[in-house]
Amino acid sequence: MEIIGKIIVALPEVSGTSSRGNAWKKREYVLETSETYPKKVHFDFFGERADQYPLNVGDVIKLSFDIESRDYNGRWYTSIRGWKAEPAQLGAPAGVAQPNGFTQGGAVPFPPAPAAPAAPAAPAAPAAPAPTEAFPTPQSPNDDLPF
């Protein structure tokens, strides 16, 4: 999956040692999209990617990521794990060279969602016949049906 936006928060690097004795580290960021109603997306780079993609507040990027969920003590947690970050320019057409030398390969804001198909028109109900008298009289005491 991919998303384009501007880095608005760069959290400090977190590191530690797993229960198996392996060292690990991650860097977390918050990206904000440039839509009519901007979305904030918290994501991280884990392991060697934490050093491979150093990002700064204000950088506009195209983030390639995976979403993963896991269970911990009966609760579910969802993470957005980045695996690639490329410089991008909000609203630039595809293939435009950027000041930093990168070429933007199709990184444009997401198009609007297609409109939902229109619901079929309901058939018109037949019109009720007009009464012939101002106050119609009942036909018989046992006839309670209107037709």
User: Residues 103-116: pLDDT tens digits?
Assistant: 444 444 445 555 55
User: Residues 6-37: pLDDT tens digits?
Assistant: 999 999 999 999 999 999 999 999 999 999 99
Separation CA 65–CA 75 (nearest Å): 23
Q: Which residue bears the tokens 């999209």?
A: 33
Two tokens, residue 132: 């012939």
Two tokens, residue 8: 């608005």
Domains of the chain by residue range: 2-87
DSSP 39: -
Residues 87-105, mean pLDDT to the nearest whole number: 53
Phi and psi of 29, rounded to 5°? -140, 165
Two tokens, residue 75: 């609760």
Percent of the chain predicted with pLDDT > 90 = 57
Instruction: For residue 80, list its beta bridge partners.
Output: 67
What pLDDT is stored for residue 131 in this prediction? 56
Q: Give the contacts of 9 (CB within 8 A, at least 6 positions apart).
A: 29, 30, 57
The class of domain 2-87 in CATH terms is mainly beta
**Which residue would you say has higher pLDDT here, 89 or 79?**
79
Two tokens, residue 115: 């409109």
